[in-house]
Chains A and B, each alone.
Chain A
């Protein structure tokens, strides 16, 4: 084994290759030190915005922005984070400032907060009714542009009070009031009396091929039993373009939801004909809609067919309605009630000249060749006089866990 006695071979490798390797190593090391953690920001250098409010401000400033900022330590239950907040501490800090633009206001707020406001967790955007009636486009523009913005934030319109007051109201259930609005909107299908709308929904309707009418949920302040202001959902704001035109009440809102096929559940209360007492509550379990845009000799017409399924879940009378005849009577009454809701929503939409149902889009899709001729006159002339037929079919399935009312025999 003579090779065992050989002198150790000098380290090999081309000098050029070695230099190259060294250069690559230095470059890679530099990556870590010189990048300066580009666009990195520690969580505790940021303050998270739960909800923002937009109100008008007198010139030269244009907007007053209200921020509902999360105070994490106060929100996390005591004991979990060690230093956790006491239950009396407020979970949010509400501040507002004015500026010509929202972006400038947001950056200017750092003078007060000491941390950069982070918009990426925005849950609710509240716009004051005054701003909404002026037109939302100039106020929402920034939220479409900045990378941080969350397009799935709820868009709500403050009814009868500035957005600032809505954000100031506290919630007894949640330490972050914005989360209460979020929960209220998520629970809307329980009654189907409010229409949750995100920024994304609003923009999509605003930019639709036909002149569509965007909507947004409304919120208002009510006093609770202790006299404190609380936030509550209140109908739907109807827009014509980006300008708010008026309100729909709760029943009208459901009329709108029926036409969109967005009713998931809810209660229809009916009275039997010829009886003053005895309301019957029907729980809707399933609903569907079919919309047919028709052109008859060049005249547009829309046929709407709504089908709903439900159960009898409450009745304020002793008569047993769980009979074929009883159910038929109830079905007819329920269909009439639903039809009434739809017609009242339609009447309001016509009054505001805003096609919130998307009928124009239906014509655009089904009759693309005829649509361009209709388009310029759609909102002003055609939609307000469009013949609409509403046909409702209701089917009741069962009467809950009773086969007959519990009563004296």
Chain B
């Protein structure tokens, strides 16, 4: 995004001058293809004679590894070399010889080069100024597996992979409706990354789709390597720690989102799919919420909300209350804390900061270190930091308990983006608590809430349905209700009233006794 007050002008796009090569001779064409690609080592060119007993030279070219060689053998080389009839002119090959689904022709050298890099096999015939582009993609992909970041005990065990074709297929397997729209774009001048915008026509709010397309269309960048590149380039509040775009590795989650009017953005090369608009409370949902008993799921959701509250505020409230307001602590507890703090050399804030730092360091190290070192790390963490630090009188035991409690609470947060929020905001709150006491904590929390209230995700207020309050939907977000009771589709994303099921789905015995 260019800042509005800069004088920077976008340079004009260069005019595409199609290089309509094309020599009459096969040799010439092959040469220009080689030159266009820069003589790569993995470009395979197979020259052959068209049809049996004919002497019309032809050639097939593909990139080794990107194309499926078995398909090329069976559907291109074999028919062209042995079965292409005498009469078959270059223009009739498609009708009679090439038994492939995806087939195009082009005369543009640039397009030929791009196609080769997307796994297409190019077929050239001597004397023809056009090339056949046969779709034979065949690069290695990962097997479908359960995503480690979003595990569900009960629910489908499929996750997205790096290949965008597989990912959209997985989505189609859930939504067998012609209304499912998959609009494609290519972003990144050098990576030419395919990006697909998925939504359900008739459910989605068309203005949100337009906005998504407009924001993606504005991007000018050399490369898109993962979904986060896109996320950072289309976010509503680029400086905020709060995520306004959700992501998921699960096709069922994407399908559920589309059914509620969300738009999904697939990026080739990333198993994560972006979901917009995404609201704050959605980061407290897990896929399992909708696969388990709704009462259990409600409990889980409240636990996660409480987890965020505790992870954000527990250390700062502890520091504020012990150093500024000891009258608020029950006498027994106060005596225990005071006894533990006899002889501790640091102020309470510093002590808490030391322990928080140690915990964050362990967590960060645990994420990046090779697994073999994990055991050594946990010994260092548990023994040295916990027990030894207390015995040495450097920190007090209650502080360790508080930091551990904070850690446990933050384990409740399943979404990495929200964990990041709790870590980023915890430390400023702790400093405020150490300098201004509860007054500082409250000021910090009020600022945080004001900031959250100012956020929007693709036009939807970030804290809705709580602020602005929408009672019927706040009811659905704060607790889970049986499926049959939710007849209305949430209108936060669709911006209009709509139904998702008929009333009267509640199971139960028939009202009137049937005669037998």
Any B CB within 8 A of the CB of A35 = yes
Q: Is A150 an interface residue (CB 8 A)?
A: yes
Interface centre among B339, B340, B437, by most chain A C-beta atoms within 10 angstroms, is B339
Residues in A whose Cβ lies below 8 Å from that of B393: 82
Across the interface, name the chain A residue whose C-beta is closest to B12.
A2
Q: Are A12 and B5 in contact (CB under 8 A)?
A: yes
**Interface readout for B1-18 with A: 1 if CB under 8 Å, 0 if not?**
001011010111110000
Chain A contacts for B348, CB-based, 8 A: 42-43
User: With A43-B337, A76-B335, A121-B331 in contact, do A3 and B220 touch (Cβ < 8 Å)?
Assistant: yes
Question: Closest Cβ of chain A: how far from B201's Cβ, in Å?
Answer: 33
CA distance A75 to B336 in the complex (A): 8
Q: Select which of B10, B11, B323, B338 is within 8 A of A40 by beta carbon.
A: B323
Cα-based distance from A44 to B3 in the complex (angstroms): 53
Asked if A3 and B10 sit within 8 Å, CB to CB, the answer is yes
> Using an 8 Å CB-CB cutoff, how does the interface string of A1-34 with B read, 1 for contact, 0 for none?
1111010010011100000000000000001100
A72 touches B339 (CB 8 A): yes
Could you tell me if A2 and B11 are in contact, using CB atoms closer than 8 angstroms?
Answer: yes
Interface assignment of B89: CB less than 8 Å from any CB of chain A? no
**Are A121 and B334 within 8 A (Cβ)?**
yes
Partner of B342, one of A35, A72, A148, A179: A72
Q: Which residue in B8, B324, B327, B391 is a CB contact (below 8 Å) of A39?
A: B324
Question: A48 touching B437 by the CB < 8 A rule?
Answer: no
Q: If the complex has contacts A40-B323, A42-B323, A46-B326, are A82 and B390 also in contact, measured as CB distance less than 8 A? A: yes
A48 to B327, CA, bound (A): 10
- Does B347 interact with chain A (Cβ within 8 Å)? yes
Contact B5 A75 (CB under 8 A): no
A193-231 residues at the B interface, CB under 8 angstroms: none
Question: Residue B230 at the A interface, CB < 8 A?
Answer: no
CA separation between A13 and B336, bound complex, in Å? 54
A41 touches B327 (CB 8 A): no
**Which residues on the A side are within 8 Å of B190 (C-beta)?**
1, 4
- 0/1 per residue, A263-275, Cβ < 8 Å to B? 0000000000000
Whether B341 pairs with A40 at a CB distance below 8 angstroms is no
The CA of A44 and the CA of B341, in the complex, are separated in Å by 7
Within 8 A of A (CB), among B339-361: 339-344, 347-348
Q: Pick 26 A–B contacts, CB within 8 A, sort by A.
A: A1-B189, A2-B11, A3-B220, A6-B11, A12-B5, A13-B3, A35-B435, A37-B434, A37-B435, A38-B435, A39-B437, A42-B341, A42-B347, A43-B322, A48-B331, A48-B334, A48-B335, A72-B335, A72-B339, A75-B335, A75-B339, A76-B335, A76-B336, A81-B340, A83-B342, A121-B326
**Given contacts A43-B338, A70-B335, A83-B342, could you give 9 more A-B pairs where the C-beta distance is less than 8 Å?**
A2-B13, A39-B324, A41-B324, A46-B338, A48-B338, A72-B335, A81-B336, A82-B391, A84-B339
Q: Which residues of B contact A (CB under 8 A)?
A: 3, 5-6, 8, 10-14, 189-190, 220, 222, 322-324, 326-327, 331, 334-344, 347-348, 390-391, 393, 397, 431, 434-437
